[in-house]
Amino acid sequence: MDPELHSLADVLERVDERARLGTGTTHLWPTGFPALDDVLDGGLRGGNLILLAGPQGQGKTTMALQMARNAAAAGHAVVYFCYEHDPEVLLSRLVSLEAGLLYQSHAPNQDRFRHLFEDPSPNPDGLVGRLQTLPTATEALQTVLSYQEHFHLHRSTGTTTSIKVIAEAVEQVRRETGQSPLVIVDYLQKVKSDSVNEAERAAEVVEDLKDLAIMHQVPVFAISASDKGGLLAGKRMRAHHLRGSTALAYECDVLLILNSKYDIVSRQHLVYAANAETFRQWTVLSVEKNRNGRAGLELEFRKHFEQNRFDPDGGLVREQLVDERLVLE
């Protein structure tokens, strides 16, 4: 019997069983950003492919890492495939983020954590000894330790980490933890593929990631790079700026795009706002596509990149946004 073939009676029986046990019919992984979870009707869904795009430096890794941390801190298994950074760097970013969440403006700049992590001199007390020299760091490390068992980092490379490798690692995490993990891929265009043509590669990888989400009933949250058109200041990045855009926008269930608020707020707000410079401190997260609810919404979150984080308490943007300002300043 084909394991993929289900009669409606089988499906009904499964839904009935879940209703009896009270486990619900949908598995949700909240992002930990309440305004976004509200739009997503509770969070990221098993079987879904969620894409996060945005110009360089707008905080894609920061946001993905914070969502991963939020899921792990809430007791969900997470596996983060990092093509961009070493796991040690991500650990230092996590400790910095925790210090920021615990101590807000009193927390040190992330550079100070990075220097301690990279310090070549020996310390008999190891990392704990080193972190004792930085206020807030010990408490921040304790918080990371409280969810370390749930958080898995995979050092991925464009020459070795294919979809097959990703699927095997997901299966291994599931076996070891007994949980279906939130899967984060940072980033999609780096996943190993045999296609030479860039658009074909993106199409192939995005289809495979969607299949992976369905087969394992996990949310796959992938960061996507943009074409050059999406990178100009004063111009808003949209779905068609994604590399391999047609397949990406078609295959994904949710498409989120980050833009600097300063770049996309209409000219009148820049001219008449009491302090237009404050727009630079905010990132707009556009929900461009959402198979599970409302789309076309613009949320905003305050950046604290010096602490590797966003303020999770964002909300709807009130100002008018534009795709392109005719006059920048």
Ligand X SMILES: Nc1ncnc2c1ncn2[C@@H]1O[C@H](COP(=O)(O)OP(=O)(O)OP(=O)(O)O)[C@@H](O)[C@H]1O
Residue 312: CB minimum distance to ligand X, A: 15
Element (H, E) at 128: helix 126-131
Residue among 269, 305, 311, 325 that touches ligand X (CB under 6 A): 305
Between residues 180 and 308, which has the closer beta carbon with respect to ligand X?
308
Between residues 227 and 306, which has the closer beta carbon with respect to ligand X?
306
Between residues 84 and 200, which has the closer beta carbon with respect to ligand X?
84
281 lies in the binding site for ligand X (CB under 6 A): no
Ranked by CB distance to ligand X, the top (closest) residue is 57
Q: Which of residues 178-197 bind ligand X (CB under 6 A)?
A: none
Q: Which of residues 51-110 bind ligand X (CB under 6 A)?
A: 54, 56-62, 84, 109-110
Residue 218: CB minimum distance to ligand X, A: 22
Residue 303: CB minimum distance to ligand X, A: 8
Find, among 119, 79, 39, 102, the residue nearest to 298 by Cα.
39
Give dist(CA 205, CA 138) in Å, integer: 40
Give dist(CA 27, CA 15) in Å, integer: 12
Tokens 């300043």 belong to 329
Between residues 39 and 237, which has the closer beta carbon with respect to ligand X?
237
Amino acid at 258: L
Element (H, E) at 82: strand 78-82
Amino acid at 56: Q
Residue 93: CB minimum distance to ligand X, A: 8
Between residues 66 and 143, which has the closer beta carbon with respect to ligand X?
66
Site stretch for ligand X (CB under 6 A), options 49-57, 124-132, 233-241, 269-277: 49-57
For 177-240, the DSSP string reads: HSSPPEEEEE-GGGSB-S--SHHHHHHHHHHHHHHHHHHHT--EEEEE-B-GGGGSTTB---GG
Q: From the CB of residue 182, how many other CB atoms can be counted at a distance below 10 Å?
A: 28
Residue 112: CB minimum distance to ligand X, A: 9
Q: Which two tokens stand for residue 299?
A: 């949320």
Between residues 14 and 280, which has the closer beta carbon with respect to ligand X?
280
Between residues 173 and 248, which has the closer beta carbon with respect to ligand X?
248
Residue 233: CB minimum distance to ligand X, A: 13
Residue among 111, 118, 119, 324 that touches ligand X (CB under 6 A): 111
306 lies in the binding site for ligand X (CB under 6 A): yes
Q: Which of residues 242-261 bind ligand X (CB under 6 A)?
A: none
Amino acid at 153: L
DSSP letter for 329, please: -
Between residues 173 and 298, which has the closer beta carbon with respect to ligand X?
298
Residue partners of 176: CB distance under 8 A and separation at least 6 = none
Amino acid at 88: E
Residue 128: CB minimum distance to ligand X, A: 23
Are 51 and 248 in contact by the 8 Å Cβ rule? The answer is yes
Footprint of ligand X (CB under 6 A): 54, 56-62, 84, 109-111, 305-306
